[in-house]
Chains A and B, each alone.
Chain A
Amino acid sequence: MDETPVPQPLDDDGALTKLHPNYSHALRVQTTLSSIPFLVGALVLEGAFRGEGLFPSGIIAGPVLLIALALIIRIPQTRYNARGYQISADRLRVVRGLMFRSDTVVPFGRVQHIDVHQGPLERFFGIATLTLHTAGNHNASVSLPGLGEGLAREMREEIRAHIRRETL
């Protein structure tokens, strides 16, 4: 163990660091992409019933479009606001969840290995997902999406350095 004063205030309930602003854009694109199949389905249904004259056109596609728009506009921002993290000298705290909140703390001393992952969308927005793996069955991997690419790598190095210091 190193000589730096380890005991710092127990601020596990303190303020959270916000994720990269681009994360909410990425979420928005993701929501848009996943709502496309529903829109297409609604349009197909619409087309199928067009000739029947049972109800005015647009009664299926209209509401679906409205719901999709509402989700695309609202949800990414709320999800972005609900997420956050907090990194201190010896632990990482990850908070996530809109309805089902979860607040996880992983001490660096228990990290088995670290991943930095970027999907195509994340690459485009210059963000990355940091994943910490532990040996516990619950929370075997804790991932923190929406970090700036550089920051994610920086955090990985920091955690890795901490692990090495502890082991040597």
Chain B
Amino acid sequence: MSDTRRTAPLSVAIGALGAIRSAVLPAIAIAFSGIGGGGRFLVALGVGLAAVAIGVVTSYVGWRRLTYTISETDIRVESGILSRAARSVPFERIQDVSLEAKPLPRLLGLVAVKFETGAGGADDLALQYLTAAEGEALRQLVRERREDVAVAAPAAPADPAAPARPADDAGEVLFALAPGRLLTFGLFEFSLAVFAVLGGALQYVDNVTSVDVWDVDLWYGWLKEQGSTVATLGPYAQALGAVAGLVGLLVIGSITGVVRTFLRDWGFTLTRSARGFRRQRGLFTRTDVVMPAHRVQGLVIGTGAVRYRFGWHSLSFVSLAQDDKEQSHVVAPFATMAEIAPIVAASGFRLPGEATRWQRASTRHRNDLALRDAAIFGVATIGAAIFAPTGLFLIPLGLAVLAVGANLYAWEFRRHAIDEAQVYASHGFLSPKQEIATRLKLHSVEIAQGPVARLRGYATVHLGLAGGSFAMRGVPINEARKLRAAVLETITATDYSRLDAPPHSAPAPQALSAAQSGFSENFLAT
């Protein structure tokens, strides 16, 4: 039952609109330039119309020539006007299917369907655009096909003892951001990016008008003018002005943060369905991503220096698929640990608890880092003391002290732990960032040591995690070796091809349990 289909006809209209949009600027440019003397408006109109016509025709032919076929095992897309390309992606390899609706397609009821395979960025398969209903149906279909393939094999040794899979209702909401929470979140997302945008705009003004914004004299003259006005105001007014400026900065930064957060995370909803997680968010550009639960390789619990003090954290899933620009999928951008816990449980992971035996990084590692950072500023201090005006050397000296303090404090958060099933690592400067990964889903173990580390007997343990990185820093070398032995014991017990199979239908339960006891012994030894 394979049928060949086309994308929604309305996508031609969107392509055409895009063509018009890109034709407008050159047309205007011609109209206002000196080309062609008196008849230049006609020329501009002609060029514009030609561009639009070409755009519309290209868009139509492109639509005619793009077909997709859904067969039993894969999805195929054939495209190209002159050169043809045919891409096929097996359902098995699709990491997740996401629906994205930018403002314009959303008005027309269209969505872009993206199939993430983990191949990265441009190599992924995308269909632009399908009607919303069709997109949803396609996603459902892909999910069902994939389940067929996945379930067909291990279903045979039906294990009655296996706990019933949480195959409950299709959408249990795990996490949602209410507007009030979103506002709080936005305030913590304080950003001065708007000034960068203003800088860009100034540059633009510079290009378009004759005002040279990079002319120092111009600004200096303007400042002097303003400065003399300010100087006449007296010290109180000056102080007041400075405070007002700071407050203004704070307000602008907060508003930027809130606006950006609202645009990105409006209506954030995370739901748990029978086999995956589904995340919807966005005010104008609405995205809808589904992640299969078994594809989650690890978790990252992040936070910020300030929000950590208020108990706010974020949770991301590490997987081979990529989120928009980031490496992992944010599933709870701003939540308390109490809210994160159920999500973690639903993804089959465990949060570190009372029983987790955290190991701190070696104090030698801490001291070396502090010494290194202080030494950099120390050299600067000596330089400043000799060559710079008196008193200036205090600045690098102060920075050196700060660096030492920061390193000592960062040590507070640098920890790692291992238990029967998972590895944990935590690090951060003013706030901890925690990473959790399954021992079974690691791919390699490396012990790396620089010259200082070798001298002082500690190492960095890098664990190969698909779709992310996982490192434990400053681990004493003996502990690092034991850790590696323990992790390898788990990895070698199960082949890569069996990773995605549910643990209860593992091919050789005896072997696995033998390995289990093996590594718990190892764990004890650790």
Query: Does A pair with B?
Result: yes
Flag if B444 contacts A136 (CB, 8 Å). Answer: yes
Is there contact, CB below 8 Å, between B491 and A138?
Answer: no
Instruction: Kindly identify, within residues 1 to 28 of chain A, every residue whose CB is under 8 Å from any CB belonging to chain B.
Output: 1, 6-7, 10, 12-13
- In angstroms, Cα B146 to Cα A142, docked, is 32
* Partner-binding segment picked from B46-54, B219-227, B458-466: B458-466
Cβ-based interface call for A99 (8 A): yes
- Determine which residue in A103, A108, A138 has the highest number of CB atoms from chain B within 10 A of its CB, and name it: A138
A138 contacts B469, C-beta separation under 8 Å: yes
B464 with A6: CB separation less than 8 A: no
Nearest-neighbour CB distance to chain B for A140, whole angstroms, equals 8
Chain B 452-476 near chain A by CB (<8 Å), digits 1 or 0: 0010000000111111111100000
Contact A138 B462 (CB under 8 A): yes
Which A-chain residue is minimally distant from B495 (CB atoms)?
A166
Contact A101 B448 (CB under 8 A): yes
Contacts A13-B481, A99-B450; A90 near B492 (Cβ below 8 A): yes
Q: Is the CB of A134 within 8 A of B451?
A: no
Known A101-B448, A138-B469; judge A12-B488 contact (CB<8 A).
Answer: yes
Q: Are B496 and A110 in contact (CB under 8 A)?
A: yes
Q: Are A7 and B518 in contact (CB under 8 A)?
A: yes
Are B492 and A6 interface neighbours, CB within 8 A? yes
- With a cutoff of 8 Å between Cβ atoms, the chain A residues found around residue B463 in the complex are 136, 138
- Tell whether, in the assembled complex, residue B446 and residue A104 are in contact, meaning their CB atoms are under 8 Å apart: yes
| CB of B485 closer than 8 Å to a CB of A | yes
Instruction: Tell me if A105 counts as interface (CB < 8 A to partner B).
Output: yes
Of A1, A13, A108, the most chain B CB neighbours within 10 A belong to: A1
CB–CB A137/B464 < 8 A:
yes
Known: A12-B481, A91-B488. A138 touches B470 (CB 8 A): yes
Contact (Cβ within 8 A) B491 A109: yes
- A152-168 residues with Cβ-Cβ distance < 8 A to B are 163, 166-167
Q: How far is the CA of A99 from the CA of B453 in the complex (A)?
A: 10
The one of B454, B465, B481, B494 in contact with A137, judged by C-beta atoms closer than 8 angstroms, is B465
Give 1 or 0 for each of B471-513: 1 = CB within 8 Å of chain A CB: 1000000000100110011011011111000000001100100
- Residue B271, interface by CB 8 Å: no
Measured in the bound complex, the distance between the Cα atoms of B518 and A90 in whole Å is: 16
Interface presence of B449 (CB below 8 A): yes
Which of the listed residues B447, B464, B469, B511 has the most CB atoms from chain A within 10 Å of its own CB?
Answer: B464
What are the residues of chain A within 8 A of B442 when measuring CB–CB?
110, 136
Q: A137-B465, A138-B462, A138-B464 are in contact. Are A102 and B496 (CB under 8 A)?
A: no
Q: Do residues A136 and B464 form an inter-chain contact, with CB atoms below 8 A?
A: yes
What class of interface size applies to chain B in its complex with A?
35 or more
- The yes or no answer to B421 lying at the interface (CB within 8 A) is no
Q: Would you give the 0/1 interface string for A83-110, flagging 1 where the beta carbon is closer than 8 Å to chain B?
A: 0000000110000000111111111111
- Shortest A93–chain B CB gap in Å is 9
- The answer for the CA separation of A90 and B464 in the assembled complex, in Å, is 17
Q: Cβ of A100 and Cβ of B450 under 8 Å apart?
A: yes
Which residues of chain A have C-beta atoms less than 8 A from B451's C-beta? Answer: 99-100
The interface residues of chain B lying within 8 Å CB-to-CB of A7 are 514, 518
Q: Are B469 and A107 in contact (CB under 8 A)?
A: no
In the complex, whether A57 has a CB less than 8 A from a CB of chain B is: no
A78 at the interface (CB under 8 A from B): no
Residues from chain A with Cβ under 8 Å of B485 in the complex: 10, 12
Q: How many A residues, CB 8 Å from partner?
A: 33
| B488 lies within 8 A of A107 (CB) | yes
The reply to whether B494 and A109 contact each other, CB–CB distance below 8 Å, is yes
Cα–Cα distance between A115 and B367 once the two chains are bound (Å): 42
Partner of B446 from the list A10, A110, A135, A139 (CB cut-off 8 Å) is A139
A136 near B492 with CB under 8 A, answer no
Interchain CB contact under 8 A, B481 and A134: no
Q: Which residue of B lies closest to A133 (CB)?
A: B443
Asked if B252 lies at the interface with its beta carbon under 8 angstroms from chain A, I say no
Interface assignment of B8: CB less than 8 Å from any CB of chain A: no
A138, B514: Cα distance in complex, Å? 29
Taking CB atoms, residues of chain B closer than 8 Å to A100 are: 448-451
Alpha-carbon gap, A101 to B514, bound state (A): 34
Roughly how many angstroms separate A72 CA and B283 CA in the complex, as a whole number? 63
Q: Is B445 an interface residue (CB 8 A)?
A: yes
Q: Which A residues are within 8 Å of any B CB, using their own CB?
A: 1, 6-7, 10, 12-13, 90-91, 99-112, 134-140, 142, 163, 166-167
Report which B residues bind A (CB closer than 8 A).
Answer: 320, 442-451, 454, 462-471, 481, 484-485, 488-489, 491-492, 494-498, 507-508, 511, 514, 518
Listed A/B pairs (15) with beta-carbon separation below 8 Å: A1-B507, A10-B485, A13-B481, A101-B450, A103-B447, A103-B449, A104-B445, A104-B446, A110-B442, A110-B444, A112-B496, A136-B463, A137-B464, A138-B469, A139-B443
Q: 16 additional contacts, CB 8 Å, given A102-B446, A109-B496, A136-B466? A: A6-B511, A90-B492, A91-B488, A99-B450, A99-B451, A101-B454, A107-B488, A110-B491, A110-B496, A135-B320, A136-B442, A136-B464, A136-B465, A138-B462, A139-B443, A139-B462
